[in-house]
Amino acid sequence: MPAPIAGSAAPAGRARTLAQVYRHFGAVDAAGTSPLYERVALALSESDEALRAIETVPARKRHPTVVLAALHDLALAGRAPALATAYAAADGAAAAAAAIDTLLRMTDSVVAIAARRPPRANETGRCPVLYPAIADAARRVGAEAVGLIDVGCSAGLNLNVDRVGITYSNGQSLGDLSSPVQMSASIVGGRPVPAQPIPEVVARVGVDRDPVDVTDPDEARWLRACLWPDQPEPAARLEAELALAAAAPPVLLRGDAVEVLPDALASVPADVLPVVITTWALSQFPLESRLRFLHRLDEAATRRAVAWVSVEGVGVAPAIPTFGDRRASGHSIIGVAVFGHSDLRAEGVGRCWSRGSMLAWLAAA
Ligand SMILES: C[S@@+](CC[C@H](N)C(=O)[O-])C[C@H]1O[C@@H](n2cnc3c(N)ncnc32)[C@H](O)[C@@H]1O
């Protein structure tokens, strides 16, 4: 009998088998969104040989999102041409057959990729939420230049926030409207986002325990592989943002954020405002680390002002007020905090939904 797998939505009291997890992924998670992954996941769930191969992947990496990304990675690398052809043709039957064939022939490669690479979500498109919050933080301090430090940066795509163009549904626009990367977002409610620009950005630093170097072809390919093969729009957005990042890559510091943050802050010139950014990163930190992260910002502020812009689930960012919203409400809170010599001014400035593609600005602009 196949081993049970940890993961989402197990029936109460018993873990689901691999076959059940793959069937659920195909029939529920992928259905309606990715016809290719629906077919492939269901085919894997019905193949005893395929399930046995998946069982050789380390237990925490057996989830369909990881195994399918590993297969997609092989296709993108030219190592699984039949699978690549089936994906390109959006041929579900051929993709299902090729995925099983690739998995059985290249089990060791699938295991190695899945074991080595952390799954990555789609990390594009955060700028419509970040831009006005960073500009607002700089305005509060009167800063004429900022150094951006993205904590939990992954590939550091947020660090190009001032290099993209942004159009909002209320007619406002921000950033560089001639940039090859253009983003849009819907504004909820009647309040505009602040119109001031981000001042000059003189430093761009990414901090992550496992950063992605976008100039490394294998690492960039893994970001592509984590997208589903029949979703051209996210893929095109990722290509554009990767190209922008690769043209002027940020400094990446590898390590635990709490340990590395002092070095990151020290790399920002003394007369420049460091603006630390976190987007959907802090939920991966234990509560104690989140408090130590806050303490680090406070320590750095004995020497100069430090700002922190957060976009995190309700109640995840310590010290950021949440408008009384319930945790796990499905939206996130946009926070702006300024650490001065001995005080902290932290404010919730808005809410956002769908990873920032919809936002409500709530602070006075
Ligand atoms: C969910 S991803 C968010 C990535 C990106 N900020 C975004 O908006 O999509 C969380 C990131 O935080 C990083 N991370 C988790 N714990 C960390 C820690 N203690 N120190 C540094 N980075 C950490 C992970 O490696 C991962 O890249």
Q: Which residue has the least CA distance to atom 8 on ligand 1? A: 279
Least confident window among 267-271, 301-305, 312-316: 301-305
DSSP output for 137-164:
HHHHHT-SEEEEEEET-TT-GGGGGGGS
Q: Which residue has the least CA distance to atom 22 on ligand 1? A: 208
Buried b (16+ CB within 10 A) or exposed e, 129-158: bbbbbbbbbbebbebebbbbbbbbbbbbbb
Using a 6 Å CB cutoff, which residues line ligand 1?
Answer: 121, 123, 126, 152-154, 207-210, 256-257, 279-281, 284-285, 289
Could you identify the atom of ligand 1 that is nearest to the CA of residue 152?
12
Q: What is the pLDDT of residue 1?
A: 39
Q: Give the pLDDT band (50/70/90) at residue 329.
A: confident
**In angstroms, what is the span from residue 208 Cα to ligand 1's centroid?**
6
Q: What is the pLDDT of residue 11?
A: 44
Q: pLDDT, tens digit, for every residue of 262-298?
A: 999 999 999 999 999 999 999 999 999 999 999 999 9
Q: What share of the chain in percent tops pLDDT 70?
A: 96
Mean pLDDT calculated for residue range 310-329: 95
313 contacts: CB under 8 Å, gap ≥ 6: 280, 283, 327, 328, 332, 333
Q: What is the pLDDT of residue 59?
A: 94
Mean pLDDT calculated for residue range 187-216: 96
pTM of the prediction? 0.92
335 residue type, one letter: G
Q: What share of the chain in percent tops pLDDT 90?
A: 92
312 residue type, one letter: E
Could you identify the atom of ligand 1 that is nearest to the CA of residue 150?
6
**In angstroms, what is the span from residue 207 Cα to ligand 1's centroid?**
8
Could you identify the atom of ligand 1 that is nearest to the CA of residue 123?
9
Q: pLDDT, tens digit, for every residue of 224-248?
A: 999 999 999 999 999 999 999 999 9
Could you identify the atom of ligand 1 that is nearest to the CA of residue 289?
19
Least confident window among 13-22, 179-188, 237-246, 262-271: 13-22
Q: Give the pLDDT band (50/70/90) at residue 14.
A: low
Helix residue spans in 142-256 (DSSP H): 217-225, 232-247
Q: Give the pLDDT band (50/70/90) at residue 15.
A: low
Q: Give the pLDDT band (50/70/90) at residue 10.
A: very low
Q: What is the pLDDT of residue 365?
A: 65
Q: What is the mean pLDDT of the chain?
A: 94
Q: Give the pLDDT band (50/70/90) at residue 122.
A: confident
Q: What is the pLDDT of residue 328?
A: 86
